[in-house]
Amino acid sequence: MKISERPLIATAAIQERIHELAAQIDKDYKGKHPVLLITLSGAFFFAADLARQLHETVQIEFIRAQSYSGTQPGPTVRITSAPEASMTNRHVILIEDIVDTGRTATAIIKHLQTQRPASIAVCALLDKPSRRAANSTPDYVGFTIENHFVVGFGLDYDGLYRQLPAIYVMT
C-alpha cells in the first residue's frame, strides 16, 4: 500500500476547520470547564491543535482503545488505558481522530457512563458515516469523508504515517 500524491485534506483546511470547531466548543461550553478526553494515539495531533485554539479552561485526559489491525477493524474494542481522573459530574468531550464504524466511540462512551458524567459529546476530526456499524454520530465534525482508508495528522497504517501534516488516502 502507498499514500496518494496529493492530500485529501490539506494542512491549511485542517487548521481552519479546527479554529471553527474551537469557536463552537467555546460557545457551547462557556463556563463549564470541560474535560477533553483524547483517544490515543490517533487523536493527539488534532487534540493538541484544538486545545490550543480553545479559550475555555479545559482539563486534558487520555484514553486508549484498540480496534484496528492494518486497514480492518478487529472483532472487539478494547480499552487498554483509561484516565485516572474522575469524570463524575464533568462535561466530557471525547476527542477522536475518526469515527468510522462508530464502535470505538460507542465503547468509550459506555465505559464513561459508569462514572455518571454531566454530559458526553464526541468531537472527531473525520467522520465516515458510510461505514457506521454502531449508532454513534459525532457532535462536532471536522470533515465528513467517503469510504477511504486515510492516514496523516495522527491517523496511521500499522503505526506509520501519523506525522504527515495533511490527510492522505491509502491506495
User: Contact, 42 vs 77, CB < 8 A?
Assistant: no
Which of 166, 170, 123 is CA-nearest to residue 142? 123
CA–CA distances in Å: residue 70 to residues 48, 77, 78: 25, 15, 16
| C-alpha to C-alpha distance for 124 and 112, rounded to whole angstroms | 17
Mark whether 49 is an active-site residue.
no
| For residue 41, cis peptide bond before it (omega within 30 degrees of 0) | yes
Name the catalytic one among 49, 97, 100, 127. Answer: 100
Q: How is 33-47 classified by DSSP, letter by letter? A: --EEEEEETTTHHHH
**Alpha-carbon dihedral sign for residues 136, 90, 65, 167:** positive
| C-alpha to C-alpha distance for 61 and 65, rounded to whole angstroms | 14
| C-alpha to C-alpha distance for 51 and 58, rounded to whole angstroms | 8
Catalytic residues, which ones? 100
